[in-house]
Amino acid sequence: MFFRKRRKIQVNKEQVLNAPLPQHIAIILDGNGRWAKKRGLPRTAGHQEGAMNVREITKLCANIGIKALTVYAFSTENWKRPDEEVKFLMKLPIKFFNEFAPELVENNIRLKVIGNVEELPIDLQQKVLEISELTKNNTKMTLTIALNYGSQDEIKQAVQAIATEVKNGQLNVEDINEDVINQHLMTSDLPPLDLMIRTSGELRISNYLLWQLAYAELYFTSIAWPDFKEEQLYEALLDYQKRNRRFGALNEAN
């Protein structure tokens, strides 16, 4: 069973760091609103705390050798939330980028944003371009933020682009394979996805990186995102290292 109940376990961090680490981790940042409600705070306070935690987990991942971290910040379905919350969620990334930009540069982290950026408010679009340009040559790790992102929409756009290339004689139908599809996805320049983490107890994928998740390991925890700290990340990494990744094949023993 994938679900991990909250419990105290001893994790030898040195042992985890000396074992193979995932090169690409994706996280569904769930539970910000519930974290706030539990404390008698407005949902926006939970989103603010969650954004602060993204900064800390990003730096931690970069420092231990993770090459790519992709976080689900705002989905194409999140527009259905109350207007005031959506307005806050459109302003929060600007504040996040402004405050985090110096640390991205200092830690040699590249920022990438995936999703339908052209549908975001103009000031947010401009900030995305600004920080992406500022960090484009950073090489230690790539932080990808999914904003106004939906995986089914991403796959639809990839199919449309491939169909256009076939129509224009740039691509033969028989040459369409997994690599061609990967090249047309928004994550085409990232390593294959190894581990997907979802916080706050929900056991769903929620239209997130559906193609990329084909052989990723899934880790679910009941801990809300603002409480997912260094200790919880190491627990997830330890669990990942215990998995037997066969990619559809059998063990030699079998």
Please report the pLDDT score of residue 234 as a whole number. 97
Model confidence pLDDT, tens digit, residues 37-86: 999 999 999 999 999 999 999 999 999 999 999 999 999 999 999 999 99
Q: Which segments are annotated as binding site for Mg(2+)?
A: 30, 217
Please report the pLDDT score of residue 10 as a whole number. 75
Please report the pLDDT score of residue 2 as a whole number. 47
Closest Cα partner for 28 from 187, 186, 224?
224
Q: What would the two tokens of residue 87 be?
A: 């307005």
Question: How far apart are alpha carbons 229 and 209 in whole angstroms?
Answer: 23
Q: What would the two tokens of residue 109 be?
A: 């982290």
For every residue of 49-103, DSSP letters joined together read: HHHHHHHHHHHHHHHHT--EEEEEEEETTGGGS-HHHHHHHHHHHHHHHHHHHHH
Q: What is the pLDDT along the chain (254 residues), one digit of tens a residue?
A: 344 444 556 789 999 999 999 999 999 999 999 999 999 999 999 999 999 999 999 999 999 999 999 999 999 999 999 999 999 999 999 999 999 999 999 999 999 999 999 999 999 999 999 999 999 999 999 999 999 999 999 999 999 999 999 999 999 999 999 999 999 999 999 999 999 999 999 999 999 999 999 999 999 999 999 999 999 999 999 999 999 876 555 565 54
Q: Which segments are annotated as binding site for substrate?
A: 31-35, 43, 47, 75-77, 79, 81, 198, 204-206
Tokens 């705002």 locate to 74
Please report the pLDDT score of residue 11 as a whole number. 86
pTM: 0.92
Tell me which of 12, 30, 179, 254 is the catalytic residue: 30
User: Is residue 148 flagged as an active site residue?
Assistant: no
- Residue 104: exposure state from Cβ atoms within 10 A (0-12, 13-18, ≥19): buried
User: Is residue 30 flagged as an active site residue?
Assistant: yes
Closest Cα partner for 186 from 154, 220, 147, 219?
154
Question: How far apart are alpha carbons 208 and 71 in whole angstroms?
Answer: 10
Question: How far apart are alpha carbons 115 and 148 in whole angstroms?
Answer: 5
Tell me which of 78, 107, 182, 207 is the catalytic residue: 78
For every residue of 30-50, DSSP letters joined together read: --HHHHHHHTT--HHHHHHHH
Please report the pLDDT score of residue 3 as a whole number. 47
For residue 167, what are the contacts with CB-CB under 8 A and spacing of at least 6?
none
Please report the pLDDT score of residue 238 as a whole number. 96
Q: Which segments are annotated as binding site?
A: 30-35, 43, 47, 75-77, 79, 81, 198, 204-206, 217
Question: How far apart are alpha carbons 86 and 73 in whole angstroms?
Answer: 12
Contact at 8 Å (CB) between 198 and 27? yes
